Amino acid sequence: MEIDWVALKAEATKAMKKAYAPYSNFPVGAAALTDKGEIISGCNVENASYGVGLCAECSLVSELYRVGGGKLVAFSCVDGAGSTLMPCGRCRQLLYEHHAPGMLLDTVSGIKTIYEVLPDAFGPEHLEQK
């Protein structure tokens, strides 16, 4: 499957413009290509009780299931200026849970696999009964 990184980043930027970030003033948008060939997106949604805010990656995964599920093939995340952002550790774990084998991420240091940005990850495969 060919990945149009320009289109993916454009969708992340479009999502970022819908972010609700009145406390941090740091809007974030994320977009991903699924194994079904669809582009999904999400944005951060803050809350006055800071700890219950949602990252853009959280809303993206919610959107993944809202549209019927699947696995994430490629991912892009941007800040309020449209610059590439690296997902935090928590969000990398969230992305890992829903990744297609070899998932690619547009990072601040270039395109990397999910395995490179979260080496030795713990995932659903570790919970399977042997």
What does the pLDDT look like over 5-25, one tens digit per residue? 999 999 999 999 999 999 999
Give the pLDDT confidence score for residue 130 in this predicted structure.
60
Looking at the domain assignment, is residue 25 inside a domain? yes
Q: Could you tell me whether strands 72-78 and 39-43 are parallel, antiparallel, or unpaired per DSSP bridges?
A: unpaired
Alpha-carbon span 110 to 17, nearest angstrom: 24
CATH number reported for the structural domain that contains residue 33 in this entry: 3.40.140.10
User: Residue 128 above 90 pLDDT?
Assistant: no
Instruction: State yes or no: pLDDT of 129 exceeds 80.
Output: no
Q: What is the mean pLDDT of the chain?
A: 96
How far is Cα of residue 89 from the mean position of the Cα atoms in its chain? 12
User: Is 130 part of a structural domain of the chain?
Assistant: no
Range of the domain at 86: 5-125
Q: Based on the structure, what is the number of domains in the chain?
A: 1
Mean pLDDT of 34-46: 97
- In this prediction the pTM is 0.94
Tell me which residues are annotated as active site: 57
CB 41 within 8 A of CB 64: no
Residue owning tokens 């395995």: 115
- Report the run of H or E that residue 13 belongs to, with start and end: helix 5-16
Tens of pLDDT, residues 87-121: 999 999 999 999 999 999 999 999 999 999 999 99
Distance CA 44, CA 29 (A): 7
